[in-house]
Amino acid sequence: MVMKLDKVVPFGRSLDEYIKMFDLSTEDLQQRILGMGDGPASFNAEGTTKGYDITSIDPIYQFDGAEIKQRFDKVVDNIIDQIIATPNNWVWSYHKNPQELKASRIKTLETFLQDYQLGKEAGRYQAQELPHLDFADQSYDLALCSHFLFLYSEQCDRDFHVNAIAEMLRVSQEVRIFPLLTLMQETSPYLDFVIDKFSNLGYSVVIAKVPYELQPGANEMLVIRAK
Ligand SMILES: C[S@@+](CC[C@H](N)C(=O)[O-])C[C@H]1O[C@@H](n2cnc3c(N)ncnc32)[C@H](O)[C@@H]1O
């Protein structure tokens, strides 16, 4: 697994954001959850303190906490400046303004880092990467993929998306992906193909509205599950 940390934006989201992005119910949160590309999100750290069963995979977990923090510190101001320069590209309902967003991302990173070494030793953070996972068939109930598939449609092609989703469905009964827009704020060019492909394979495939929106129009998730 070769990953260059200087190609990654290690921005992570909180448990509350995951709950909203994936419309997670109390019952959903009691399931065996696999977070795909969780990076420095605090979903796992916060969820674990509440007794949830969450495993996160990300190639970034081959690096140590100091390296991830160093990368975050290097890019954070530049990214917030880009956000400030493009006010119409953002919806300030959950986060109220760019400074609050920055504070939230810093808090999330700190919560992740406090848990990272312990979680690694417990096997909750595993350095793995799509489209191949080192888990037995159906070892999870719910696989969540936030801000990776569809968002990075320019970097990951259509075959990658199909293979990654098929792999998630091999290890988990249900898959949820958010958002469905690319970094250019357009619906992913692979969305229709993915919907047709997995519908034709006999899965239930549904687009569902969620109570979270930071990119305008990015308030839907894709839910794929065995019928
Ligand atoms: C924008 S971050 C999203 C982090 C987290 N999911 C969240 O929403 O807060 C995208 C993540 O995808 C990870 N990633 C990159 N390539 C991947 C792959 N092949 N499989 C799984 N994750 C990958 C990156 O390392 C990074 O942590």
Mean pLDDT to the nearest integer, 8-31: 95
**Ligand 1 midpoint to CA 129 (Å):** 9
Question: pLDDT band for position 116 (50/70/90)?
Answer: very high
| Contact assessment for residue 130 and residue 37, using Cβ atoms and an 8 Å cutoff | yes
- Residue 126: the pLDDT is 98
Name which residue sits closest to atom 5 of ligand 1, judged by CA.
Answer: 38
> What would the pLDDT profile of 76-114 be if each residue is shown by its tens digit?
999 999 999 998 889 999 999 999 999 999 999 999 999
DSSP 175: E
pLDDT at 3 over 80: no
Provide the CATH number for the domain around residue 78. 3.40.50.150
The pTM score is: 0.97
Name which residue sits closest to atom 13 of ligand 1, judged by CA.
Answer: 37
H helices then E strands: how many in the chain? 6, 7
Alpha-carbon distance 149 to 157, whole Å?
10
Q: Is the CB of 131 under 6 A from ligand 1?
A: no
Only one residue has tokens 């994936």, namely 22
The parent domain of residue 85 ranges over 5-226
How many domains does the structure of the chain reveal?
1
Alpha-carbon distance 181 to 171, whole Å?
25
- The number of the ligand 1 atom at minimal distance from the alpha carbon of 21 is 8
Mean pLDDT to the nearest integer, 199-205: 98
Mean pLDDT to the nearest integer, 170-198: 97
Q: Is the CB of 8 under 6 A from ligand 1?
A: yes
Query: What ranges make up the beta strands (E) of the chain?
Result: 32-36, 53-57, 125-126, 140-146, 172-178, 203-209, 220-226
> Which one of 14, 15, 58, 61 would you pick to mutate in the ligand 1 pocket, going by the greatest count of ligand atoms within 8 A of its CB?
58
**Ligand 1 midpoint to CA 13 (Å):** 11
- Closest C-alpha among 188, 113, 206 to residue 150: 188
- Residue 2: the pLDDT is 57
**Ligand 1 midpoint to CA 39 (Å):** 5
